[in-house]
Amino acid sequence: MITWADLPGSRVGVWGLGREGQANLRKLRSLGIEPVLVDDQPAEPGVLGTDDGGLAALKACDVVLKTPGISRYRPGVTEMTITSGLSLWLAEQDLSRVICVTGTKGKSTTASVIGHLLTGLGHRSMVAGNIGRAPYDGDEAEKPDFWVIEVSSYQATDLQCAPPVVAVTSLHPDHLDWHGGVRQYYQDKLSLCTKPGAELTVANGDSDLLRSRRAELGPAVDWVSASDEPGADWMDPLGLRGEHNRRNAIIARRCLRALPVKEPSQDELRAAARGYQPLPSRLAVVAVLDGVSFIDDSLSTNVLPTLAALDAFGTDRTALIVGGHDRGIDYAPLAAGIAARQAPTLVLTLPDSGPRIRAAIQAAGHHDVRDCADLAEAVRAGAAWARPSGIVLLSPAAPSFGQFKDYRDRAEAFAHAVHGLS
């Protein structure tokens, strides 16, 4: 396996200069390496455009560090020795001190809960990877007792090995354009479970799709259900709403149980859970105006988390705002979930996927659905309908590309529209 320590003396390329690409560049320069720099849209001097000599320059390198956003299935990739900063870092770690968390949705929350509980139980922990900083970017003197690494499907394809404990929170079609189809997405997402070093997968046992793919989950699986630990209240201080988040918390605890740490009591776990700060744009309360609660779940970019968000407000009158970049996913499961909902539900759809979502919902027999021109219009319509004590829920089941820079930008626009009501 290749590690960071193996790179000095090699011709190294960095392909993609986003957040992780910049971390790769800093690390390489700390090793005395000046790499070839290539980006699809170069914005700095000395950076080659991929289609302007960059691809040829990368093919001449011994090793290329690819940013996760660049698909492994793009033309030219197979002609290079491709790796990633995370792969190089994992290959040189004591993996008994590392947990990797993946899944279509829920991985950020689960990773952050694991880190919070470890810290609360007196261990030095660092949460890194897809959730934020690269673990190799920063002070080399930082030596936590445990690393919790969130791994996306993009990142998983580049890894050479895995730690003994891997968590899988969910599985649902996503990122099909990057992976080239749903079958390849599932294979890539779960590949971490069978990399060299993997021993135990702590997995969402409520997912029929995951259970049907048991052979891809490695040598041993610890299935977790939201109905496990009945009556346990240790997770209450986390302040996480919904059955899916209860399961995420139990997955976090099962991961701790697989680490070389003392088994905590219920009281110790409850004390460790205190002070947790839920992540932004995940069922976050933006405001309560005239009795109506406005909930930001902007990070829900496909059907699975949107259904989970609706379940979290199962008995509440809810105006659901959905739609965004249309990547062709099947909205029939969302439509079926809305049609089966007992509480009053108004669906407000946004471009570009809005009309297709509306058609699917109406075909399922639910007709309280309207197309809106933009997010501000949807917020106004939802607020008027949800009075006097309902919910306006932004849970788009679609990416934000096109109208917004990213999910954070969409969340800010939602908050601005909500505050504009007052």
Q: What are the tens digits of pLDDT across the range 285-317?
A: 999 999 999 999 999 999 999 999 999 999 999
**pLDDT tens, position by position, 38-70:** 999 998 899 999 999 999 999 999 999 999 999
Residues 370 and 358: their CA atoms lie apart, in Å, by: 7
Torsion-angle region of 70 (φ positive above 0: left; ψ -120 to 50: alpha; else: beta): beta
Torsion-angle region of 307 (φ positive above 0: left; ψ -120 to 50: alpha; else: beta): alpha
Closest among 270, 267, 221, 224 to 243, alpha carbons compared: 224
Strand pairing category for 36-39 and 48-49: parallel
pLDDT of residue 141: 62
Q: Is 156 helix (H, G, I), strand (E, B) or coil?
A: helix
Give me the domain span that covers residue 41: 4-83
Q: What is the CATH number of the domain that holds 35?
A: 3.40.50.720
Closest among 18, 2, 134, 19 to 61, alpha carbons compared: 2
**pLDDT tens, position by position, 67-112:** 999 999 998 899 999 999 999 999 999 999 999 999 999 999 999 9
pLDDT of residue 329: 86
pLDDT of residue 143: 86
Across the range 268-285, mean pLDDT stands at: 95
Do 263 and 296 share a structural domain?
no
Domain C-terminal end among 252, 273, 294: 273
pLDDT of residue 407: 92
Residues 19 and 258: their CA atoms lie apart, in Å, by: 32
**pLDDT tens, position by position, 357-414:** 999 999 999 999 999 999 999 999 999 999 999 999 999 999 998 889 899 999 999 9
Domain C-terminal end among 273, 307, 324: 273
pTM score: 0.90
Residues 394 and 323: their CA atoms lie apart, in Å, by: 10
**pLDDT tens, position by position, 182-215:** 999 999 999 999 999 999 999 999 999 999 999 9
Residue 278 belongs to a domain: no
Domain C-terminal end among 273, 296, 313: 273
Across the range 10-20, mean pLDDT stands at: 96
Do 213 and 261 share a structural domain?
yes
Q: What is the mean pLDDT of the chain?
A: 95
